[in-house]
Amino acid sequence: MASDPLAVITRYYDGCSAGDVDLMLTTLHPDVVHYFLAPNVGSAPVVGAEHLARYWRKVARMIEARWVVDHCLAGADEAVIEWTMFWRPDGSGDRVATRGSEWFTFTGGLIREIRSYYQQRPATTELDGFPYGERGYSTAAAEHSRAHPEPDLTR
C-alpha cells in the first residue's frame, strides 16, 4: 500500500491530540512499537496498536496535549520528523511546548515503529535562538505549522 508518510503521521497526531482511538488505529500497524527516550517519565516501550492508541488518549486527556508535526523528511518506508507537543504540566497553569524528533518506520503504509527523542520538562524546551515562526513551525500563538495545518476532525 503506497501512502504519503507525512499524511499518515499527521493523521496519527491528529488522533493523538483528539484522543480518537479509531483515528489512530487507521495509521498504526497492529504490532507497532513506540520507544521513548529515558529517563522521561513513562519511558518503557509501548507495544501494539490498540495499547498505543489508548495510551495517547489517556495522556492527551491528562495534560491537554496537542501534537504538531513541524518538519518532515520522508522516504517510502521511513520518515524523520521534528514535532512540538503543547501541554499543561500537571493539567493546570500555562501551556508549555516540548520540542522533539522522531524516527518512523512503515510496513504496508502503516506506522510500524516510532523512536522518540525529547526531554519532557514542565517548562518550554526548544532550540535557543531558532526562528521557529519564521520557518513555518508551530508557536505558542499558533499550534499548527506549515507541514501540519489545523486538523479537520469532521471526516
- Between CA 142 and CA 7 the distance in angstroms is 20
Task: Give the number of domains in the chain.
Answer: 1
Average pLDDT over residues 15-37: 97
Q: What is the pTM of this model?
A: 0.92
Residues 123-142 pLDDT 10s: 999 999 999 999 999 999 99
Only one residue has cell 513555518, namely 136
| Domain region containing 78 | 5-135
Does residue 154 carry a pLDDT above 60?
Answer: no
Instruction: Please report which helix (H) or strand (E) contains residue 28, including its range.
Output: strand 28-35
Q: Which sign, positive or negative, has the C-alpha torsion 102, 72, 95, 126? A: positive
Q: Is the pLDDT of residue 13 over 80?
A: yes
> Residue 142: inside a domain, yes or no?
no
**Residue 1: what pLDDT?**
40
pLDDT of residue 92: 73
Q: Which CATH number characterizes residue 82's domain?
A: 3.10.450.50
> How far is the C-alpha of 89 from the C-alpha of 18, rounded, in Å?
18
Q: List pLDDT tens digits, range 89-101.
A: 986 788 999 999 9
pLDDT at 41: 78
pLDDT for 111 beyond 60: yes
Q: Residues with Cβ < 8 Å from 132, sequence gap 6 or more? A: 70, 126, 138, 139
Structural domain contains residue 112: yes
As a whole number, mean pLDDT of residues 57-75 equals 96
Whether 114 maps to a domain, the answer reads yes
Rounded Cα–Cα distance for residues 150 and 129 (Å):
25
Residue 108 lies in a domain: yes
Q: Which pLDDT tens digit goes with each residue over 113-124?
A: 999 999 989 999
Does residue 108 have a pLDDT over 50? yes
Residue 91 has a pLDDT of 66
